[in-house]
Structure 1
Amino acid sequence: MSGSASTRVLQYHLPDFTLAIEDLKRRVDATQWPNSVYADDWSRGVPKSYLQTVAHYWVHGFDWELWQARLSGMPHFRTEIEGQPIHFLHYRSDRPDAMPLVMTHGWPSSFMEFDQVIPALLNGNGKICFNLVIPSLPGFGFSSPLQSFGWNHRRIAAAWGQLMGQLGYEEFGACGGDTGSLVAPALASLFPQRVVGVHVNGGLLRPHLTADEYLGLRADERRRIDFATELLRLGTGYAHIQATRPQSVGYALTDSPVGLLAWIIEKYKEWTDPRKPLPEEAVDLNDILSTVSLYWLTNTAASSANLYYEVRAEKQMMSPLPRTEVPTGIAVFPTDPVLRHRADQEFNVVHWNEYDRGGHFAAIEAPDLYSADLLEFFSSLERS
């Protein structure tokens, strides 16, 4: 599989993590834990007793051989776009009429978030199935090291357009949550003749509402807005740090695996299904640790944090991308503050479903709902 001589797509062979895993275990066992006053609940961050238990399991209970086998069983490829290594998974359906679909993850996630929905999307629903392209964002996972600044949502979307062209996909669908919920619509704005449809979930942006607008919402809509309002009040410190000083916090996250674990697992506590009190009740702990391990072993804690800085600069320096009429489907989960009447102003919404379980990481929290929603949306579209 290859593109032109300057844009070769090559199968990617995973590095040997044996020594790095041994070093990780040594570092975790040697963690210097704080001895100051701390809370046993989550009011000041991840509780010490909870984190000690999870960290101990990470190095003494987590199945590293299974993790490596799981990774090795995936179809890894890498190319180079604008000097940046871009890693992606590429799954091909057995059906010749499969629609190409580029799936974009967010932070603190990875391509592994989509693992549980891949079989359903490859097999399809009788009407449609997909060839799946699942890239790692620049500076994340195996799309590293980060070679230059400026990798904001717009530039990532432009790179995905190039990637799909390298693979021979002139028309394709786009989907994603978190960062992907912004990159996928940007793809439609940049390539409206190539993107046949956009599916998004997992946005964290709370709409600005007047008091009267808020009172006019349904009870379930108010609950989602209240969730986002509380998150904005207490749960966005990480974003301000990564958007302003990613390099400074990056030193700590790169040197301390337990620090990185706390930084990431807190998001699984705060962003997942509100009815699930602990992260591992919403997402299997082994899946959470698989993602944390990927960040640690690829040394991408700092470079992934840099995305927030780039997005902040993008908002300050660039005008918004134009609205397109590309059909858009939106799956709304209990933590998503999106409102239909506001979404209609930004997108050509032709598909809208609301669900009462799942959360921000929908593809791994509620893979059955997520995959079914994707298939339902793309099945409804006209194809050339």
Structure 2
Amino acid sequence: MTDPIRPFRIEIPQADLDDLRARLDRVRWPDRLEGLAAADRSRGIPPSELADLVERWRSSYDWRAQEAALNELPQFTTDIDGQRVHFLHARSSRADAQPLLLLHGYPSSFVEFARMIGELTEPAHGPAFHVVAPSLPGFGFSTPLSCPGWAMGRTSGALVELMSRLGYERYGVHGGDIGAGVAGMVAGHDETHVIGVHVVTDPMTAANTATFIPGMADRLDADDPVDKLILERMERFTHDGSGYLAIQQTRPQTIGYALADSPVFQLAWIAEKFQEWTDVPIEPELVLTHASVYWFTGAGAGAAHVLFDQAHASDWGAPAQVPFGFSVFSADETVRKLVPAPEGAFWVEHEKGLHFPAMETPDELVGDLRAFFGGLG
């Protein structure tokens, strides 16, 4: 029996807002180290930067306004494989519109696509889309996580089922970060219905991903300038940038206590990555909206368990024989060497943007989605 699709509105109880304010009023700050430069990021997000965000969250940020804006987008939930799945579903008025599944990454949420929806569904020119943007299981309002085991393979299967329930026989898939991996696996599970897969990447993400490929370092020549740069970035990630991932991939329950109990910790956990993984700053209100979604839903712990399950998963899916498209932000020659793009694949390079192009350079991303999927039937 197919579970029903239910309309959904974000309605955070006032008691939860009051509790957040009370926790922010009594935050306990660690001692500041003497002699450490105010903007020094080598030990994590600088105290002054986080303090400014906390004060904005506490005193001037308007969650109700953000909640109302998000509720202008049609949202729904359904139960798949025992898990509540939340999703935006905005249909175009155009008869020729193509269904498009948009998949977020970590530490992001469905919110990253909110400002792109209108441009995709009702464009002034070019292709139009019926947009489906889910919260991945364990993230956002696809919580609480029903049980262990929600790695990318299980998630992709749930999303195939979602698109089937919505009645879409032919659809495209886009993703970044975890969403890129899920997008490829959706195509592998549903090759007869997926018209193409579009993913985003950047030099940092490509190098970070390379650290998990067995034997990759041995395949690179330290005397080659491009390989040397890749090796340096891999080394930097391994020794200076992978701590957030290591703890979630090994001790999600332990880090989950802090993420569920301290809004300041949850904000710091997200804001640090939004700053480090962008070259076009994301405005504070948008950072706080992501942090609020994580806080009110308890998604920090759920996301940590998903990362743990993926680290211990053996199902990487089968390669899909569908068209692939790549948009590379802050592009350089290292990405061309690291990303295994099939011959003749759609490939566009952009000077600006990094890990979160949907929020950093949304116009460029929308243009690429139109160019890639507009050429597919």
TM-score (norm 2): 0.90
Aligned to 2:83: 84
Q: Does 1:8 align with 2:7?
A: no
1:1-384 matches, cutoff 5 A: 6-35=2-31, 37=33, 39=36, 40=38, 41-124=40-123, 126-202=125-201, 204-206=205-207, 207=210, 208=216, 210-212=219-221, 215=224, 217=226, 226-227=232-233, 229-273=235-279, 282-314=281-313, 317-318=314-315, 320-334=316-330, 339-344=335-340, 347=342, 350-381=345-376, 383=377
Give 1:323 deviation, angstroms: 1.9
The amino acid across from 2:305 in the alignment is: N
Unpaired runs of 5+ in structure 2? 211-215
Count of aligned pairs between the two proteins: 364
Task: Let me know the Cα RMSD of the aligned residues.
Answer: 2.2
Cα distance in 2 for residues equivalent to 1:150 and 1:351 = 33
Cα distance in 2 for residues equivalent to 1:249 and 1:337 = 37
Q: Tell me if the contact between 2:206 and 2:335 (Cα under 8 Å) persists in the aligned partners.
A: no
Cα distance in 1 for residues equivalent to 2:128 and 2:303 = 31
The amino acid across from 2:248 in the alignment is: Q
Give 1:188 deviation, angstroms: 1.1
Q: Tell me if the contact between 1:123 and 1:129 (Cα under 8 Å) persists in the aligned partners.
A: yes
Cα distance in 1 for residues equivalent to 2:332 and 2:14 = 39
Unpaired runs of 5+ in structure 1? 277-281
The amino acid across from 1:359 in the alignment is: L
Report sequence identity in percent.
38
Give 1:124 deviation, angstroms: 4.0
The amino acid across from 1:61 in the alignment is: S
Q: Secondary structure at the match of 2:168?
A: coil
Give 1:214 deviation, angstroms: 7.2
Give 1:71 deviation, angstroms: 2.2
TM-score (norm 1): 0.89
**Most deviating of 33-42 and 166-175:** 33-42
Cα distance in 2 for residues equivalent to 1:155 and 1:336 = 34
- What do residues 141-180 of structure 1 show as CA deviations (whole Å, max 9, x unaligned)? 1111111111111111111100000000011000011111
Change (3 A) 1:213 1:258: same
The amino acid across from 2:261 in the alignment is: D
- What do residues 195-251 of structure 1 show as CA deviations (whole Å, max 9, x unaligned)? 00000013724233544387264xxx9767755653343111000000110110110
The amino acid across from 1:251 in the alignment is: Y
Q: Secondary structure at the match of 2:273?
A: helix
